[in-house]
Amino acid sequence: MFTRFTPSHRGGSGPPLLCLHGFTDTWRTWDLVLPALERRHDVLAPTLPGHAGGPALGDEASAAQVVDGVEEAMDEAGFATAHVVGNSLGGYVALHLAARGRAESVVALAPAGGWAVGDESFRATLAYFTSMQETLRAAAPHAEAILATPEGRRRATAYTTVAFEHIPTDLLVHQMLGAAGCVGAAPLVESALREGWRLDAERVDCPVRVVWGTEDRLLPWPSAAQRYRRDWLPAADWVVLDGVGHCPQLDVPIETAQLILDFTGW
């Protein structure tokens, strides 16, 4: 089951809720919070274009194409608008959907793109993804053996979570294989290096909550949030989680689900 890559998941009932995963991940990053979210919402969790199980990217890959692809998934699901939650790249995409008028609210978990103008550290983050994918492609045939030990699971989650013991091994295998098979990784990295990060923040007129863990090793707090805090979303509802890593939905799923549901019920 966990080695299959599918384009989306839908379940639950209630107001529409769209869940968007991070770079090189799949929709299954939401597995630990889906039961709580689906008790209150009609949840659509698509795999982003260019990612394992998701639709293909166009010839010239870009963040805008990813946003376009998510809009198409919303249209197919009959979601004119939705509450949107996104992690990392998914948080960046969620805010772009808000700027296009497709979001009722946004909960952005460590959204990408928030480096201050002139801060070139994003290049090191993108380089990490390139080298990480090369490593994972070599390790993929041995994924189950690597993740069979606590040491292997700790290494696999070092950049995403602080707590890892509760995450099912099968889910970690799925994420490792998904990241290794993310064909859109290289073209999206090239696009980000070429185009940088932009947001029509003045067009984001829905409620926004931004959640960031103090132990985020991929997008460190607060440096990777500077542009959101100072320029784009200073009036957002900011929540800082002590001792939490880059993927709160995996790290502290109960707390994360409550942070989402408290906000979508405003």
Indicate which residues carry an active-site annotation: 88, 216, 246
Q: Is the peptide bond before 49 cis (omega within 30 degrees of 0)?
A: no
Write the DSSP assignment of 37-63 as a string of letters.
HHTTSEEEEEPPTTSTTSPPP-SS--H
Task: Tell me the residue length of the chain.
Answer: 266
Encoding tokens for residue 114? 């928030």
Euclidean distance between CA atoms 120 and 122, whole angstroms: 5
Q: Which residues pair with 85 in a beta bridge?
A: 19, 107
What are the phi and psi torsion angles at 197 (to 5°)?
Answer: -125, 130
What region, left, alpha or beta, does residue 243 occupy, with left being phi > 0 and alpha being psi -120 to 50 degrees?
Answer: left
Pick the closest to residue 51 from 169, 180, 157, 152 (CA basis). Answer: 180
Q: In sequence order, what E strands does 119-182 have?
A: none
Residue 19, H or E segment: strand 16-20
